[in-house]
Structure 1
Amino acid sequence: MNLGFNMFFTIVTVQISIIFVMKAAGQSTTEACNSCCTSGIPGIPGQHGNPGVSGPQGMNGVKGEQGMNGVKGDQGFNGVKGDQGMKGEQGFIGEHGLKGEQGPQGLIGLPGANGVKGEKGEQASQQKSAFAVVFSSNPGRHAVSPMKYDTIITNVGNDYNLDTGKFVCAIPGVYVFQVTSLKSSGSSVLTHIMKNGNFQVSAYTAGTGDISASAMVILDLVSGDQVWTQPLSTSYNYYYDNINRYCSFSGFLLYAA
């Protein structure tokens, strides 16, 4: 746009310059002619000349200074706060949904009457064997042989033989045997518990006064085994007894095999 304007301005300037030149020339001619002759008829206007060559572009003008910032306007006033509206009425509570029906709980029944007491059950069959024998009179110096006690206190199963002085096993199992012997004053006794002729344990006592001794043993027996008591020798057979029954021999089945 600046290029077109400059071109137009240049053309106009050239045309004006031409007009002034022609006018100045005409005046000179008129003045010369006025002095010698009358004015001639004006000539036909000549055609416009071609546009002149565009002049060089002018230099850019100096950049103007930045204008001052405008003053910040005052903040407007806050509007008046409106009144709080009235609280609306509370709505109705909706109805609860239907709950499944639950059957009524039954009443706790009264305790039932005690049942009739059952009959006593039969005790399981248990094999039994037990004996206890004593001297009720003084045996004195007993022979080195099975001691034949003269009084039976207990003989469950009749496994003790009073005539032989021996216990004969009829129920295989584990048995407990015990012997107690009292010696006369100033002497000694040593009593063996024998099994099938073999010594098992002994009860021994010696010294001044009447002193007793005892021994116990547990034996595993089979049917037909024999158990008895007897003195060690004639040097250890000074037994003493009376109605108080100091000398005894006993045994019982602990459990059957």
Structure 2
Amino acid sequence: MYLRFNMMLTIVIQISIIYVIKSAAQTNSEACNSCCTAGVPGIPGNHGNPGAIGPQGMNGIQGMKGEQGLNGEQGMKGDNGSNGLDGIPGKLGPTGPQGLIGLPGANGVKGEKGEQASQQKSAFSVVFTSNPGRHDTSPMKYNTIISNVGNPYNKETGKFVCTIPGVYVFQVTSMKSTGGKILTAIKKNGNIQMTTRMDAAGYNSASTMVVLDLVSGDEVWTEPYNSGTNYYQSDSNRYCSFSGFLLYAA
């Protein structure tokens, strides 16, 4: 800033000197125009030293703020750009802590009733409705059938014949006469599985039950143990009976 000021000041001084020289020359020319011939201009003198720095001018007055221009019209919406390519999947983050157990959900809609699986059935109950007396040591042929589901009991042989493999329950009840005793066995294929005995005085009964695992073709029946323990008593009150049923099929 200071150098610029000095340069301007030098130019002003030079112009002033030239102006003074021209004025003097013109005056001299006019004074001696009638009698003298103009002389040759002199050689310009050396530049004077720079003048002192003048005082700082006053600050200019700040102009008024211009009014805000009007908003330009909104441009047209540009076309949508194409979708970028999917990035590479990031690494699997660490497993977070287990959350709290949620509240129980509402009950679902009741389903339709399913079809009942067909159940295999086998059961029977037979009795003596007349007095068998002293029964032979052979399968006891009960003369009255109360039930025979699936026809497993053969009245002609007095034997139950297994047609559905599985677990069966058998029960026998026998009553003795006043003059003897009884010992009744439940046999499977000729082998004793369980016995029931009664030899007290008077009319008395005895019962027993057994659970057997049978295969198709197995036979089960009741029989007096021997000829000394075969004093049976029955009538329309049905004191002697033999029953069996399938507990569950194999």
Aligned match of 1:124: 117
Measure, in 1, the Cα distance between the counterparts of 2:165 and 2:143. Answer: 27
Q: Superposition pairs for residues 102-181 of structure 1, below 5 Å?
A: 121-181=114-174
In structure 2, what is the Cα distance between the partners aligned to 1:171 and 1:165? 19
Report the AA paired with residue 198 of structure 1. N
Distance in 2 separating the partners of 1:250 and 1:122: 31
The reply to whether residue 210 of structure 1 matches residue 203 of structure 2 is yes
- TM-score of the superposed pair, with normalisation by structure 2: 0.55
- Return structure 1 stretches of 4+ with deviation > 6 angstroms: 117-120
Give the TM-score of the pair, scaled to structure 1: 0.53
Q: Deviations over 1:28-50 (max 9, x none)?
A: xxxxxxxxxxxxxxxxxxxxxxx
User: Does the alignment pair 1:233 with 2:226?
Assistant: yes
Unmatched runs of 5 consecutive residues or more in structure 1: 1-114
Q: Percent identity?
A: 70
How many angstroms apart in 1 are the aligned matches of 2:146 and 2:112?
34
SS in 1 for 2:118: coil
Q: State the shift of 1:215 in Å.
A: 0.6
Structure 1's 243 and 119: CA in aligned 2 closer, same or farther, altered over 3 A? farther
Query: What is the CA–CA distance in structure 2 between the aligned matches of 1:158 and 1:202, rounded to whole Å?
Result: 25
Aligned partner letter, 1:217: V
Q: Which has the larger radius of gyration?
A: 1
Whichever residue aligns with residue 139 of structure 1, its letter is P
Equivalent in the alignment of 1:254: 247
Question: Which amino acid letter does the alignment assign opposite residue 220 of structure 1?
Answer: D
Distance verdict in 2 for CA 1:138–1:119, change over 3 Å: farther
For these two proteins, the number of residue pairs brought into alignment is 142
* SS of corresponding position for 1:229: strand
CA spacing shift, 1:151–1:118, aligned 2, 3 Å: farther
SS of the residue corresponding to residue 168 of structure 2 reads strand
Query: Is the Cα–Cα contact under 8 Å of residues 181 and 248 in structure 1 kept in the other structure?
Result: yes
Q: What CA deviation, in whole Å up to 9, does each residue of 1:127-157 have, x standing for no partner? A: 1100000000000000000000000011000
Which sections of structure 2, spanning at least 5 residues, go unmatched? 1-108
Partner of 1:188 in structure 2? Answer: 181
Query: Is the 1:186–1:206 contact (alpha carbons within 8 Å) kept by the matching residues of 2?
Result: no
Alignment match, 1:29 = none
Quote the residue 2:214 is aligned against: 221
